[in-house]
């Protein structure tokens, strides 16, 4: 039997995500276009896979194209104020009819059990109802939006009860008042407020644009960033308002609500393209993703290693041990020496590490096991780790830092290290030197 090593490596690479996502709440928001153009079947397959992995799903659907079509049939004019539809009594009737039809179609597609497909033997139970209490938006810019509303409260207890029973919650862009009124809501408002109320791990917006994009004068649209903090998002919107950046319509619509969700406690918000088959899976289960991710603060931080990091460090260094670049370290040794390590953590995944071994009698320190995950080697992680180790070494009284390497000599030379002889090593280290490996010795005065 041939072993497919690529498949095995990929399967192992997604394991940390599976463990991290189990029993977490994800809110997935998508417009009526996903249903109208027939792409929802593929999305259903991916949602079923997430549900089978223990993710608790809340879907928020829109119905803008269906509403527009219904209004055109009745020759009713559409008026928008700040991106919100003015909803009079006649418009509200079309809104209710359109949303009702979309919701029924979504429920039917979620009930599929197609053989030889990801939905085979699936039993997704869908819960929908009056989960959202709303209030009228009122008058904006002198215009009464009438039956257009905004979220007042989300019945989290009812939704969580359904999620804990293994059901998928489906929220429509309609809200109800305590007096029985019905309000037309925006899907982005419902999605953001539901994610905040449920303390969701992730809020995912499926949009026409592929990610956060920007167009400067004379330049075509280019990917701005796969990762944005709330502060960076606010700066981008300010630049857009001043005419310095061009954002797609979807980004203008969703980015403010993404930042609102992050400020409300949602860990991560993802803006991804609805046109890519498997977009959600690619975004959630790969290092780089395919869209843009918004978070409250920076995703990457450098810190001292903890005992619970041992497994991740072993996984990080395993390929380099296998090809002989690093000397093998077993788990027991690493656990004993974990206080010597620092790690770089990116979105709660260890992507780099380094260790410092002091030789106080010689006022020297050894830099060891400096590794950065291949996907992040161009982001300055190695330099950050080196700087941290140099700072630690100086604080311990070391005047020089040395490193033994067989494959990365140029990287250290470019950062001020000079090649020297084994005899220049501390006596204690000379006694441990492996002459079979013939590692080169480099020293840097610090």
Burial class (CB in 10 A: 0-12, 13-18, 19+), 262: buried
Q: What is the pLDDT of residue 1?
A: 40
Q: What is the pLDDT of residue 223?
A: 43
CATH fold label, 301-445? Aminopeptidase (3.40.630)
Q: Which residue has the higher pLDDT, 323 or 231?
A: 231
Across 89-101, average pLDDT: 96
Terminal C-alpha separation, the chain: 54
Across 275-300, average pLDDT: 87
Q: Which residue has the higher pLDDT, 331 or 328?
A: 331
Reported confidence tier of residue 120, pLDDT bands at 50, 70, 90: low
3-state secondary structure of 373: coil
Asked whether the predicted pLDDT for residue 167 surpasses 50, the reply is: yes
Across 176-188, average pLDDT: 94
Q: How many CA atoms lie within 13 A of 354 on its CB side?
A: 23
Tokens for 47, please give them.
């949602």
Asked whether the predicted pLDDT for residue 327 surpasses 50, the reply is: yes
pLDDT in tens, 387-441: 999 999 999 999 999 999 988 899 999 999 999 999 989 999 998 888 888 899 9
Q: What is the pLDDT of residue 213?
A: 56
Across 78-101, average pLDDT: 93
What is the share, in percent, of the chain residues with pLDDT greater than 70?
Answer: 93
Q: What is the pLDDT of residue 222?
A: 37
Cβ pair 27, 200 in contact under 8 A: yes
Residue spans per domain, the chain = 20-298, 301-445
pLDDT in tens, 8-39: 777 877 887 888 899 999 999 999 999 988 88
Across 94-100, average pLDDT: 96
Cβ pair 316, 296 in contact under 8 A: no
Mean residue pLDDT of the chain comes to: 88
Q: Which position has the token pair 């919650």?
A: 169
What are the start-end ranges of the E strands in 115-253? Answer: 126-128, 132-136, 139-140, 143-144, 149-154, 168-171, 174-176, 182-184, 202-207, 213-214, 222-223, 227-229
Q: What is the pLDDT of residue 121?
A: 59
Reported confidence tier of residue 221, pLDDT bands at 50, 70, 90: very low
Q: Which residue has the higher pLDDT, 71 or 245?
A: 71
Note whether 20-298 and 301-445 share their fold.
no
58-67, 201-210, 307-316, 354-363: which has the minimum mean pLDDT?
201-210
Q: What is the pLDDT of residue 40?
A: 86
Reported confidence tier of residue 216, pLDDT bands at 50, 70, 90: very low
**Domain 20-298 belongs in CATH node 3.40.1160.10:** yes
């Amino acid at each position: 039997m041939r072993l497919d090593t690529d498949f095995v490596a990929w399967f192992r690479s997604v394991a940390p995500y599976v463990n991290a996502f189990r029993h977490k709440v994800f809110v997935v928001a998508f417009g009526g276009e996903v249903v109208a153009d027939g792409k929802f079947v593929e999305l259903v397959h991916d949602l079923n896979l997430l549900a089978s992995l223990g993710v608790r799903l809340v879907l928020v659907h829109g119905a803008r194209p269906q509403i527009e079509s219904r209004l055109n049939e009745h020759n009713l004019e559409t008026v928008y104020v700040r991106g919100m539809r003015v909803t009079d009594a006649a418009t509200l009737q079309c809104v209710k009819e359109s949303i009702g039809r979309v919701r029924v179609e979504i429920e039917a597609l979620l009930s599929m059990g197609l053989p030889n497909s990801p939905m085979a033997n699936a039993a997704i139970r869908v819960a929908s109802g009056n989960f959202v209490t709303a209030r009228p938006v009122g008058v904006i810019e002198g215009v009464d939006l009438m039956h257009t509303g905004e979220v007042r409260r989300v019945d989290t207890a009812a939704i969580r009860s359904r999620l804990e029973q293994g059901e998928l919650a489906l929220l429509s862009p309609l809200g109800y008042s305590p007096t029985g009124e019905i309000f037309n809501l925006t899907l982005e408002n419902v999605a953001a407020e539901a994610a905040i109320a449920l303390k969701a791990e992730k809020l995912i917006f499926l949009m026409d644009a592929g990610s956060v994009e920007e167009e400067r004068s004379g330049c075509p649209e280019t990917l701005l960033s796969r990762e944005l903090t709330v502060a960076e998002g606010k700066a981008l919107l300010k630049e857009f308002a001043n005419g310095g950046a061009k954002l797609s319509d979807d980004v203008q619509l969703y980015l403010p609500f993404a930042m609102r969700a992050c400020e409300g406690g949602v860990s991560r918000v993802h803006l991804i393209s609805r046109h890519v088959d498997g977009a959600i899976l690619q975004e959630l289960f790969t290092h780089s993703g395919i869209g843009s991710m918004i978070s409250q603060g920076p995703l990457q931080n450098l810190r001292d290693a903890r005992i619970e990091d041992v497994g991740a460090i072993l996984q990080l260094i395993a390929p380099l041990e296998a090809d002989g670049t690093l000397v093998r370290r077993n788990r027991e040794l690493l656990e004993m020496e974990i206080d010597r390590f620092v790690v770089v953590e990116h979105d709660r995944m260890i992507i780099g590490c380094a260790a410092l071994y002091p030789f106080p009698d010689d006022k020297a320190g050894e830099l060891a096991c400096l590794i950065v995950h291949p996907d992040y080697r161009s982001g300055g992680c190695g330099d950050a780790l080196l700087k941290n180790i140099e700072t630690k070494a100086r604080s311990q009284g070391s005047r020089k830092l040395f490193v033994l390497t067989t494959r990365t000599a140029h990287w250290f030379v470019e950062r001020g290290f000079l090649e020297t002889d084994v005899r220049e090593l501390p006596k204690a280290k000379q006694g441990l030197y492996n002459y079979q490996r013939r590692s080169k010795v480099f020293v840097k005065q610090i």
